[in-house]
Structure 1
Amino acid sequence: MSKINTVEDYSTLLECPYDASHRILESRFQTHLIKCKKHYKGEKKETCPFNSTHIINKSELEHHLKTCVDRKNFERSIQAPEPISHPPPEFKPLPDGEDWDVDVRAYNPAQYATNTPVLRSLQGASKSVRKQFRNDERKRLLALKSNGPE
């Protein structure tokens, strides 16, 4: 019989803010907080805006916000980006005689699929129409396989 859950490294266990007797694996901590919060009836708790796993007594929230270790990550993310230190690349027009818009052909996926040996299906049609479509598909694929016209 194999063990389902072994805890070899106890440093990954975290203490539940709602019940100090609960020790939870770090990977299961957020799930536990949701379940434990439903049954908690003690002092009013608040969630830290910098880390949702920090659940603090309402009276201690102000102190926690000043000393929260995740605050620096938040502040770093909202800082304005540094100005660009180099100019953007210089615009160079196309050489004479080169125009990419001249030979533009529209892509028609239905036409492409008709002339290629791919298996197509018909959705949303009646049973008899789908049956006829499957028969026509068999003929089309056989014609494409023999490289002859349909």
Structure 2
Amino acid sequence: MDELHIKNYGDVIICPYDKTHVIPAGRIQRHLIKCEKQHQHLNYAICIFNTTHRVPQEELQNHQRNCPDRGLIEIEKYTLEDSQPASYSHLEAAMERMLWERSSMGVRQDSEQQDENWDDMDAPPYDPEEHCKNKAVIRKAVNMTRSERRKFRAEESIRLRPLYALENDDKPE
């Protein structure tokens, strides 16, 4: 498959079924499924290392010997002496280093931090109205009649006066 990079657009791939189709790399799999149905007369085989690779049936063995994605599969297939996959050996060493650094810094492990229980329903629910009454938050009069809005605004100005005074007293000058 021919891959191209178009400036200000990104990576694109030319469809093996129809060379006039230039598809963004992220959408090639979806395109190939649709295009394959329209071009059933072409005898293309699917590569076992990457399903977006479609090659003529006659060239399949040659492609599989030289497929650029073959290494990604074979690195998982063949292991080192300690029977760990070759690609994970450096990750395991990094993980051990990180755990050692966490324990030496005195950071609690995750099992010790599991004191939060979201299934515990004994805690009181959060009430936004109650929270706003005790903070300097401007509330809106919603779904009220004209007289109720007037009364609400008067009560709000009385409620906010001491809260704003407390807020201004706390600020250093």
More helix by share: 2
TM-score by length of 1: 0.49
Structure showing greater relative contact order (alpha-carbon pairs closer than 8 Å, 6 or more residues apart): 1
